[in-house]
Amino acid sequence: MIGKKLSRIAKTNEFFVLLVILVVFFTVSAISPVFLSAYSLVSVIKTAIEPIIYAVGAYLVILSGGIDLTVAGIGAFSMFTATKIVFSMNYEGSALLPYLLAIGFGAALGMINGLLISRLKIQPMIATLGMNSIINGVMLFFIGSREISQVPIGIQTAGKTYVMTVYNANGVAAPLSTTIYITIAVVFVVYLLLRYTMLGANIFAIGGNVESAMRAGIDVKKTQFIVYVLAGMLYGLGGMVHTITYVNSNPMDLLGQEMITIAAVIIGGARITGGHGTLTGTVLGVLLIQLIDNCLNTVGIPSFWQRLVVGLVLLVGTSLTSYQALKEKRRLHVEISSAPISMQ
């Protein structure tokens, strides 16, 4: 029984990603022994805090059979606008208000995505691509290349509150922000939503087969709308986590984040056609990408090579999930074909 369970786990995409993470980690540690340290581990976790929040939002969308290219746009707009508002108010309270404002702006933009896709029946890629262009255009017109470096005291305090701080051999610090608790809470809440609620079951259902979901009485339009609103809220939250982590609000920092986010979700085992994937795989996908980036920096390889390596890993990960889907389809076909036909 245990052997069969272990064999089943070894065939999952999550196991493959975890294996790649371990191989990359120990290979780079062999090349550069300084990498094998608590400093490197905390550095990877630190850089993954914000991307995991984006990835969970994108995972919900992809799980439902959609795609969302507004990750960076919503995140940047939400964090900058929320910071600008509290800055203009001379707000001196905690970071709670900026968080709520950013989540609210994210929800509003997510609602627009949801309406375009669920009500107007615009293809998700076209709708979100258009929305992302609009958001970026508005931001460039009103903001340009400006950033808010003097953030309110509440954001400064939250950004300088750490769970722990570790140092490398040269005395360089790697502080782990308390925002990691937010990421853990997001993953836990979404896990509960997908596992124990009808909404979670509906998301899997419409991602697997929309026609079958409609015949089962599922309100596909409502489910799609809710998914994009939730995703928008998470993008807004992730944007504010970025502002608090780096104690400044620069929209340009998130440029290109949508492609890395989608890559992490797909690498984690989610199928672009929807209905398949796990939160565990998504988190591992983010960790793998951040680990690769960290490793490239450690061995002195220019960071622009990250895109090439991520692209290769994405192709391999997608090929693996496609191969697994093809195997399942063939196995199902064989089982149906070999099933005895009873004559009444």
* Entry pTM: 0.90
Mean pLDDT of 281-287: 93
- Confidence (pLDDT) at 344: 43
pLDDT greater at residue 219 or residue 331: 219
Does pLDDT of 341 surpass 60? no
Torsion angle in degrees (nearest 10) through CA of 162, 265, 35, 165: 0
Q: What is the mean pLDDT of the chain?
A: 86
- The helix-helix angle for 220-246 and 71-88 (nearest 10°) equals 60
CB half-sphere exposure, 144, CA atoms < 13 A? 1
Does pLDDT of 41 surpass 80? yes
CATH of domain 13-316: 1.10.3470
- Confidence (pLDDT) at 324: 65
The alpha-helical segments, DSSP class H, found in the chain are 2-10, 13-31, 38-63, 71-88, 96-118, 124-142, 153-159, 180-196, 198-208, 210-215, 220-246, 257-267, 279-298, 305-338
CB half-sphere exposure, 225, CA atoms < 13 A? 13
Q: SS3 of 312, please?
A: helix
d(CA 27, CA 24): 5
Any residues with CB less than 8 A from the CB of 57 and at least 6 apart, and which? 68, 71, 230, 231, 232, 233, 234, 235, 238
Share above pLDDT 90 across residues of the chain, in percent, rounded to a whole number: 47
- Taking only the tens place, the pLDDT of each residue in 132-142 is 999 988 888 87
Handedness of CA 201, 223, 241, 56 (dihedral sign): positive
- The domain locations on the chain are 13-316
d(CA 261, CA 257): 6
- Taking only the tens place, the pLDDT of each residue in 296-306 is 777 777 666 76
- Taking only the tens place, the pLDDT of each residue in 151-199 is 888 888 988 889 988 888 777 788 899 999 999 999 999 999 999 999 9
Decide if 272 contacts 62 (C-beta within 8 A): yes
Does pLDDT of 317 surpass 80? no
Does pLDDT of 282 surpass 80? yes
